[in-house]
Amino acid sequence: MSLKHIIKPFSAWSNVFRDPVTVKDPLNDRPGAARYRGFHQNDIESCIGCGACSTICENEAISLVPVDGIETKEGDSGLRPLVDYGRCCWCALCVDVCSTESLKLSNHYTWVGEDPEAFKFIPGVDKMPWDEEELGWKRPEDNYELNNFKRISMLELTPEARDKSFIEIVKGYSKQEAQEEADRCIECGLCISTCPAHMGIPEYIAAIREDDINEGFKKLYETNPLPEICGRICTHKCETVCAMGHRGDPLSIRWLKRYIADQIESDDYKKVLELDSIENKDQKVAIIGSGPAGLSAAYYLRKLGYQVKIFEALPEAGGMMRYGIPEYRLPYDQLDKDINLILNLGTEIQYNTRIGKDISMEELQKSYDAVFAATGLHDGRSTRIPGTDHEHVYMAADLLRDITSSKEIPVMEKVLVIGGGNVAMDITRSMARLQNQKFGRVQVIATALEGEEILPADREEIVEAREEQAVINPGWGPTEIVIEDGKLKGLLVQRCLSVFDENGGFAPKFDPEDTDFFPADMVIESIGQGANLSYIPQSVKDELEYTDRGRIKVDSHFQSSAKWLFFGGDIIEGPDVIHGIANGHKAAIGIDQFIQETQKK
């Protein structure tokens, strides 16, 4: 070893005076790349707590937790994602699958701390330095989408093919279409609380996806014994809160329900639902009215073994579903498919029997352990403007009932409908069809107080009515039906400026200067229906309590203050079919409890 070898290593000391090429610690100001996948950000306002982020996370790094100040409401679970960075691998699938695009990753990636628990936080709720950071990973705009936001379109009859007859418009999904549509569901279940019957929607959609139709069918009947009907004419409020609806088309929940019911033959209903043998009980329940609420209660009571008898004033069962809703929306054979099962379970039904006239309430009270009254809203309300007493002024509910009963109804050259709800659309489109059959052309005008944007009818009803050549001219208040020499000439209207006051109360304001005249030979009023409760004797009426709005007061099981008497359906809640079904189900549970308690005493 020479001296050189000993001295050489010390020459490295000369580097002490050179500028270092490495970066100084701590790392300051080293931003991530523009699309770097760093810590999460979440827009708490647009997040709906659907949990797609948590479901897709393979590392189980995301959990949904309640957050103070965020309320659970329709369409929002009130939960928000909490991210555990001890498990996160920054794959960003949570961002890519987010149904509202609220979840993003900032490009911040450094965070030093000694407590592992601090690395769990709720983005957007627990304030973080990167909350306002613009840069970071966002779902790429083009050609990259984990969700399918486009609804599988439904085959429907063209306006030309349907406007002369009452054949059903909607064709229903094929197996492939139904499975593709079902595949769009992310199973968040936000829809369930919005459905009045709280149907197990994600579960029956999953059954379609797995092609286990029997299982799906059983699921439907757990909460809804009228699936063919609801699968066609439900107001489908569930679809308004569907998580997919935030960035695209909501799931076609209604058509999927119909798909399941359509696949099962009537003859197989009992077998699939395992209802071949029911253990009978001795107690008897009377049901007044065979509408959705009455039928639903009958189904669930019969399933429990009670002797159930329905009293129906009209010659056939179904209530407004048969005598209100036109055949092109709900064909009678499909209606009967649902109803027949309930009757085949041993439910007795006595037609053409009006309680209060043919049989008294007191008799029912005497002969039955409980009574469920679901008599609905059948009496058309009148505008009571001058001229409504003319013989060519009709009520929509009466005409729709006569159409179902195959009675001859007056079809005149110029028809005017007052009303903008679904019943108004039903009569408008029915009259358009009848005019087409009689005259080969349509001349129906429907007018309503509400402006185009706030028409109460379902949007598709309005669109389809127009496709069928009916004129919908909203935003007018009727003032007078003009009659000359005893002949109906038409309707005078004035512009309606607003319908509701600040508190949402009904208080229409008009502009008397802005008027119009709609010529007509007949006028049909369709501004709503009222209940006819004249069948309840005074002695019972005295026992009942009423709400501030004048409705009969019932508890959560639809039991009135006369304990033996339950009320449900449109007279209590709605009006629509699905509320009726839900009411009937809850009333059945209430009646069962009531009878069991009475037995014990």
Q: Which residues bind other proteins (CB under 8 A)?
A: 49-51, 54, 58-60, 62-66, 72-74, 77-79, 82, 84, 86-87, 116, 120, 188-190, 192-193, 198, 202, 556, 586, 589
Q: 152 by DSSP, 3-state: which? A: coil
Nearer to other proteins, 170 or 589 (CB): 589
Rounded CA separation 590/596 (Å): 10
Nearer to other proteins, 188 or 399 (CB): 188
Question: 285: closest CA among 600, 601, 584?
Answer: 584
- Which three-class secondary structure string do you get for 86-115? CCCCCCCHHHHHCCCCCEEEECCCCCCCCC
Nearer to other proteins, 102 or 290 (CB): 102
CB environment 422-435: b (16+ within 10 A), e (fewer): bbbbbbbbbbbbbb
CB environment 322-343: b (16+ within 10 A), e (fewer): bbbbbbbbbbeebbbbbbebbb
Minimum distance of other proteins from residue 93's CB (angstroms): 14
Minimum distance of other proteins from residue 58's CB (angstroms): 7
**The two three-digit tokens of residue 238, written as one number:** 């569930």
The one-letter code for the residue type at 55 is T
Q: Are strands 393-395 and 522-525 parallel, antiparallel or unpaired?
A: parallel
**The two three-digit tokens of residue 516, written as one number:** 């119009």
Minimum distance of other proteins from residue 207's CB (angstroms): 16
Rounded CA separation 415/229 (Å): 29
Minimum distance of other proteins from residue 568's CB (angstroms): 14
Nearer to other proteins, 82 or 207 (CB): 82
Minimum distance of other proteins from residue 77's CB (angstroms): 4
Provide φ and ψ at 294, rounded to 5°. -60, -45
By CB atoms closer than 10 A (0-12, 13-18, 19+), residue 355 is buried
Minimum distance of other proteins from residue 598's CB (angstroms): 20
**The two three-digit tokens of residue 224, written as one number:** 């809804």
Minimum distance of other proteins from residue 230's CB (angstroms): 18
Rounded CA separation 173/151 (Å): 12
Rounded CA separation 600/335 (Å): 39
Nearer to other proteins, 189 or 305 (CB): 189
Quick one: residue 528, left, alpha or beta (phi over 0 = left, psi -120 to 50 = alpha)? left
Nearer to other proteins, 72 or 110 (CB): 72
Minimum distance of other proteins from residue 565's CB (angstroms): 21
Question: 490: closest CA among 574, 414, 599?
Answer: 414
Per DSSP, 73 falls in state: B
Nearer to other proteins, 62 or 330 (CB): 62
Nearer to other proteins, 91 or 135 (CB): 91
Minimum distance of other proteins from residue 88's CB (angstroms): 11
Nearer to other proteins, 80 or 322 (CB): 80
